[in-house]
Every structure is written in C-alpha cells, then in structure tokens.
Amino acid sequence: MRPFRAFLLAVLLSACAQPERAPDAPAPLPVAALPPLPASFESIPACPTCGSVALILRKDGGFLLRERVGRSDFSDFGRWSLLADGTISLQGEREKRRYAPRADGSLDALEGGGGDLMPKGAIEPIRGPFRLTGLYDGATFKDCRTGLAWPVDDSQAGGGLKREYLKTEAGMEGKPALVAIDARFDEEGTAREEVHIQRIPTILAGTACPASQVN
C-alpha cells in the first residue's frame, strides 16, 4: 500500500472511532428572587378531578400548605429555607418539597408533588388543622420544626392539655413537655396569633424536641 493511501486510511479509521458527542443539555432557567412576604401561591389543576396545592410563605420562616386530592384536604405546616442555589426548600410533617422562584412570580416544582405554583394576589387563609410537635409549658406551645411559639387558646381542648400537663412530672417540675397536637392558627399575620387545638392532644415521653426536628 502506498504511503499516502495508508495515511488517508488511518485518518478515516481514527475519525470513525471518535465517540458521538451527546447533544448539549438545555440551560436551566434563571432563578429569580422571592416576592415580598407573605406571599400566596396555588397550582393550576390539569383536569377537574386532579389534585391542587395552595401555599403561603410567611415572613417568620414558616409555611402553610393545603393539598386537595379528590374531596380530601391535607394541610401541612413547617419551615421554609432559601438554599444556596436560590431555590426554596419546604420541610413539614408531610413530604419534602423544593421550588425555584421564576421571574414571572411562579414557583417551579423541583421536588415533591403538586406541580408548579402560580402567584395569587390575595393571601387566602389556610386554616389546617396542622399536625404539630413541640414543647408546651402550660401556657405556650413552641413548634419543634420551626422554633416558632404561640400562646395556646383557652378552649376546652386547650384547657384539657393544661390539666393533663400539670399531672406529668415535667408539669410538676415546671419544665416544658413534648406534645403532639392538631391545631390551627387564628388571627393569621397579626401580633396576637394563637394556637387553637382542635383534637385531643397527646403528651409524649420527653422534655426536648427530637434531634431530627430541632430548628
């Protein structure tokens, strides 16, 4: 074989051996800043019977969420945080969710169910009830997940919790007790927001928050 033909053949074989280059992945959409808080969002169901999500981000770092599936409502309360990449993470009693704020004011769903959320002009109350675990000292409830605290209302359920608390060792020693409650918040957004217990609370064995929920 002549030298030139041998060289040309080697070049062609080398070109064929090169791996095919994968197409470039589309660039991610830029993450925008959060709107002024509190801010309200909701999903747009894809069909009349599809589930929907409503979300309120509070100034104090808490979030309120309501998810509707069919005729059932599920509420969640927890802590939201701004991550280093500009996305927001929601940590509540239910599943973890993560969103990316966009320039049009929407939240792009990156993790968790419910899909993308669109901004709402008005703050729609989300009343719960929310399942909360926290420390109770006979007057005040401090949520473990967010570190936020509220006075407990003087309703029948609230009074019952106080009576049961005073019977415990922690209550007799004047120490907070770990409790689990189903409650809602009244007077949302005011300085006198209270926890209104809606079901019989449970006093747990402990005087400190679980390590996995400490704020």
pLDDT of residue 97: 95
Per-residue pLDDT tens over the stretch 102-141: 999 999 999 988 889 999 988 888 988 999 999 999 999 9
pLDDT of residue 173: 94
Distance CA 158, CA 215 (A): 25
Q: For residue 191, what pLDDT band results from cuts at 50, 70 and 90?
A: low
Judge contact between 42 and 106, C-beta under 8 A: no
Query: Would you say residue 195 has pLDDT above 70?
Result: yes
Sign of CA dihedral 30, 35, 38, 43: negative
Query: Would you say residue 213 has pLDDT above 80?
Result: no
pLDDT of residue 22: 47
Global pTM value: 0.79
pLDDT of residue 6: 53
Per-residue pLDDT tens over the stretch 4-32: 455 544 544 454 544 454 445 445 556 77
Mean pLDDT for the stretch of residues 80-100: 93
Mean pLDDT for the stretch of residues 154-172: 93
Q: Which of 66, 59, 60, 61 is nearest to 41 (CA)?
A: 66
pLDDT of residue 121: 85
Query: Would you say residue 94 has pLDDT above 50?
Result: yes
Distance CA 61, CA 158 (A): 25
Mean pLDDT for the stretch of residues 171-189: 88
Per-residue pLDDT tens over the stretch 35-79: 899 999 999 877 777 789 999 999 999 999 999 887 888 999 999
